[in-house]
Chains A and B, each alone.
Chain A
């Protein structure tokens, strides 16, 4: 067994274990953390497959940003665990059917000779830059699909904001423009006044 193969099996075992724990662990925060571990170790597998751009991007986007927001939401939720576990037997046939279908599809792709995925990728020289190749391909051959995907994502962003935006006329908001425009003269006034002697009573106070 070569060293690469050994590393692959280590990462694969960690990925499978973490993915399994995501659905079996009781605490939702632990489940999210296991999902993070699964993403992280699959990024390691991608690095082994010489896809360093995709591997690092997986860590950057999913582990570094998406899962942080997930964790953020899950920590805020007060989930009652008991009702979540009740439906297990009821949903088992549906879940099992979907899982079986996915295994069937995957084995079809991997075992069939009609799909290119079964072939091993040709190894590249030390000066092969994964990032450069991917960029060249995305912005030449796949320029239109790439831009369409970007546009769909933009529409999704706008839609998400539009769906959650609620205009409430009674809500108080900060007027940031006004806050920035405030000058010191509007808020404080420096007053020059003579020093007062200790013995002077309030009646003899001299203002300015």
Chain B
């Protein structure tokens, strides 16, 4: 009994060790976003609170904590309150299977990839329920857009992940990284280039980020699904969106860019696999999220649907066929050992 309690305590400590840096990462991602987009638009960005504006995210969080949460009249109170939590919960729970290094993972489960896919598909409930429960037409429109968009891009995302599991021969995220051992050219981004691009763009669409942010679409529907939310309830949606962004970036790094493996394999010191490589790759992909937002105008809604259903899904299916042929032909250096593993 005492042993069980210790185990539970150990797991709780591990969860805190993962979540606290994640929350700090979310806070400073908002700062990085404002600074990077600021410089891209030839302005300076936040620079008043603390040295160089470093305390700006803390100030923002304090301000949101102090604000009143207003529940609109005729809103469904229970669903209105629970919606932000439903949005944040899956975004945090998915981190349980993310491997930060060889064996550095909270839950080393066999079907890790499926688990991540299942949880990222749950995030849409927070958005739909928020839009419906608030009893606001803008909220409902945003929820509808978001639901259609997420269902469309989830399929392309799932197919891209099928390609990854074909190449790695495993659904375990740690095993997927280990299957990419070798230099930059051994990582899966090269043989799975179309799937890599589809996955990343679908990831941007799933997180409702620009240029796919029609669920918020300020110019048309005010703020979309969270138009009626204020204070901390709004902040929780914000947290979920940014935690999802970091999650998608980390997953892209793990599945297509070798996770914790070093790009300079074979060179002493630099070639050692490390958590820092995973963080650097995640930051690299996160930069693209911010860069997209500063660069592209918002997509038209029918074009988003067309891109998801009529471009991405056929593209991934074709590339799965190509990949299957490559695995059968044992094209090196990626598929010679994967085929052997699948055959055993």
Contact = CB atoms under 8 A, between A and B. Distances in A.
A112 interface: no
A12 interface: no
A52 B111 contact: yes
Classify chain A's interface size.
20 to 34
B118 A68 contact: no
A25 to B, nearest CB: 12
Given A69-B151, A72-B128, A129-B110, A56 B115 contact: yes
Nearest to A69: B151
Interface stretch (B48-56, B119-127, B222-230, B255-263): B119-127
Nearest to B302: A174
A72 B148 contact: yes
Secondary structure call for the A interface? helix
Interface in B44-99: 79
Contacts of B125: 36, 68, 71
B62 to A, nearest CB: 34
A205 to B, nearest CB: 33
Nearest to B4: A3
A175 to B, nearest CB: 12
Interface stretch (A57-65, A87-95, A140-148, A187-195): A57-65
Contact of B122 (A64, A75, A130): A64
Interface in A97-134: 129-131
A76 B302 CA distance: 19
Interface in A20-42: 29, 33, 36
B124 A68 contact: yes
B154 interface: yes
B118 A59 contact: yes
Given A64-B121, A68-B125, A75 B114 contact: no
Interface of A: 3, 29, 33, 36, 52-53, 56-57, 59-60, 63-65, 68-69, 71-72, 75-76, 129-131, 174, 176
Given A65-B121, A68-B150, A176-B306, A75 B109 contact: no
Nearest to A127: B110
B147 interface: yes
B132 A131 contact: no
A208 to B, nearest CB: 30
Contact of A72 (B115, B129, B144, B154): B144
Contacts of B115: 56
A79 to B, nearest CB: 14
A50 to B, nearest CB: 11
B23 interface: no
Nearest to B122: A64
Given A65-B121, A69-B151, A72-B147, 12 more contacts: A56-B114, A57-B114, A60-B118, A60-B121, A63-B118, A64-B122, A68-B147, A72-B128, A75-B128, A76-B144, A129-B110, A131-B111
Nearest to A60: B118
B204 interface: no
